[in-house]
Amino acid sequence: MKTLDDLLDEGVEGRTVLVRSDLNVPLDGDRITDDGRIRASVPTISELSGAGAIVVITAHLGRPKGGPDPALSLAPVASRLSELLGAPVKLVPLDAVPNMAAGDVVLVENIRFDPRETSKDDDERAGLADELVAIAGDDGAFVSDGFGVVHRKQASVYDVAQDLPSYAGGLVQAEVEVLRRLTEDPARPYSVVLGGSKVSDKLAVIEALLPRVDSLLVGGGMCFTFLAAQGYGVGASLLESDQIGNARKLLESGKILLPVDVVVADRFAADGQVRTVAVDAIPDGWLGLDVGPDTVAAFGEALSGARTVFWNGPMGVFEMAPFAKGTRGVAQAIVDATAAGAFSVVGGGDSAAAVRALGLPEDGFSHISTGGGASLEYLEGKALPGLSVLDR
């Protein structure tokens, strides 16, 4: 695929460049609680603007239902992007992109406000793509820099790339290089740490990874389905009963390491009663909301000799202080492994947010990915539409 460097070599001064970024950040009202994805988008935008391009950014926020939603406006993102770029970034409607000068940057309002963006109908998506291409003009170009959406066949990701000279932005290029390193010839031992809520969400990637890895450490809500598959009672913890059979088969690999203790509560709240118990002693009616200290120690021991580590998904409900220690402890073990020479990748918005929220050093990991779903599908071996279209 052609890259941002190729486009810059061709020259962009005075040309309109459409940039698809991933600016889907968490909000508390209109306050951005984690600006990691915005910061990751800045280098590509800065390079293009600095080289004299007219930069028109498309991005989404959340999942609007059929039309504009003020709660999902990109206005806070435009403000933060202006601060990071040190230059004004105006938020504009798709149908009112202004005349711009070389070096100017605008952000189109949430592209998913237009239902054609995510339509399953090829012609509907193509109609929106045509409007984007018209903004770029005859000498325009498209830069795909939103890695978190390259697994989506959407108008601003896939269809527009079929009609304009298209290039991988610096962020997408870096993400692909990292994932190739994880899949083509990883240094061993290779350990994967998976968390999150559901086995069903991670089943395909677990099946794809098990033959390739040396150990797979499972925490988060999904661990309780595996524990149930071993015959343990899990109280009121999250459980996918229909996945117990699949979990039992996966455990036959002998590579999966499960928690030995968990932090439980009598209700899903930070101020409920909290206990740490062995996995064979979860009280009826109580919920497991984090892995316990013995599990952190066991996972840390398993990670201590790793040469490659991929982590996706928190170990518990880290947003609540009583259930944050497991994620912090396991993340610290990955930082320690990295310091000892391991190549470590954090994949997924929740994991990246946990790194920042828990005060862990971002440079303690080799790479923090901006795309959880895209990373997992790549590791599953799936073709990602937003990447495939760049290879044409």
Residues in contact with 185: Cβ distance below 8 Å, sequence separation at least 6, in sequence order: none
218 and 344 fall within a common domain: yes
Express each pLDDT in 125-155 by its tens digit.
999 999 999 999 999 999 999 999 999 999 9
Name the phi and psi angles at 105, rounded to 5: -130, 130
Please compute Rg for the chain using Cα positions. Answer: 22
> Residue 381, annotated ligand binder?
no
End of a domain among 128, 148, 173? 173
How large is the average pLDDT for residues 59-80?
Answer: 95
Given the residues 349, 364, 371, 386, the one annotated as active site: 349
End of a domain among 173, 206, 235? 173
Per-chain mean pLDDT for the chain: 95
How large is the average pLDDT for residues 248-269?
Answer: 97
pLDDT at residue 352, rounded to an integer: 86
pLDDT at residue 9, rounded to an integer: 97
> Residue 23, annotated ligand binder?
yes
> Residue 347, annotated ligand binder?
no
Express each pLDDT in 70-85 by its tens digit.
999 999 999 999 999 9
Given the residues 20, 37, 125, 325, the one annotated as active site: 37
- pTM for the whole thing? 0.88
Is there a domain that residue 387 lies in? no
Lowest mean pLDDT among 273-277, 346-350, 362-366: 346-350
End of a domain among 173, 200, 230? 173
> Residue 159, annotated ligand binder?
no
153 and 225 fall within a common domain: no
Is there a domain that residue 357 lies in? yes
To the query of whether residue 52 is one of the catalytic residues in this protein, the response is: no
pLDDT at residue 391, rounded to an integer: 83
Band (182; pLDDT cuts 50, 70, 90)? very high
To the query of whether residue 373 is one of the catalytic residues in this protein, the response is: yes
Express each pLDDT in 214-226 by its tens digit.
999 999 999 999 9
> Residue 231, annotated ligand binder?
no
To the query of whether residue 37 is one of the catalytic residues in this protein, the response is: yes
> Residue 328, annotated ligand binder?
no
pLDDT at residue 348, rounded to an integer: 75
3-state secondary structure of 291: strand
19 and 152 fall within a common domain: yes
Structural domains of the chain, count: 2
101 pLDDT exceeds 90?
Answer: yes
To the query of whether residue 245 is one of the catalytic residues in this protein, the response is: no
164 and 130 fall within a common domain: yes
Q: Which of these, 234, 222, 223, 229, lies nearest to 245 by C-alpha position?
A: 229
How large is the average pLDDT for residues 170-177?
Answer: 95
209 and 168 fall within a common domain: no
pLDDT at residue 350, rounded to an integer: 83
Given the residues 198, 255, 275, 356, the one annotated as active site: 198
How large is the average pLDDT for residues 23-51?
Answer: 95
pLDDT at residue 108, rounded to an integer: 98
Task: Give the CATH number of the domain where residue 275 resides.
Answer: 3.40.50.1260
pLDDT at residue 372, rounded to an integer: 79
Q: Which of these, 212, 305, 209, 297, lies nearest to 259 by C-alpha position?
A: 297
pLDDT at residue 373, rounded to an integer: 85
Q: Please return the burial class of 103, using the count of CB atoms within 10 Å of its CB with bins 0-12, 13-18 and 19+.
A: middle
Structure tokens at 209: 């990874």
> Residue 112, annotated ligand binder?
yes
Sheet holding 367-368, edge to edge: 256-257, 215-218, 190-194, 308-312, 343-346, 367-368
220 and 363 fall within a common domain: yes
Given the residues 235, 364, 373, 386, the one annotated as active site: 373
> Residue 62, annotated ligand binder?
yes
Distance CA 347, CA 367 (A): 9
Structure tokens at 102: 């070389």
284 and 374 fall within a common domain: yes
> Residue 110, annotated ligand binder?
no
For residue 74, give its domain range. Answer: 4-173
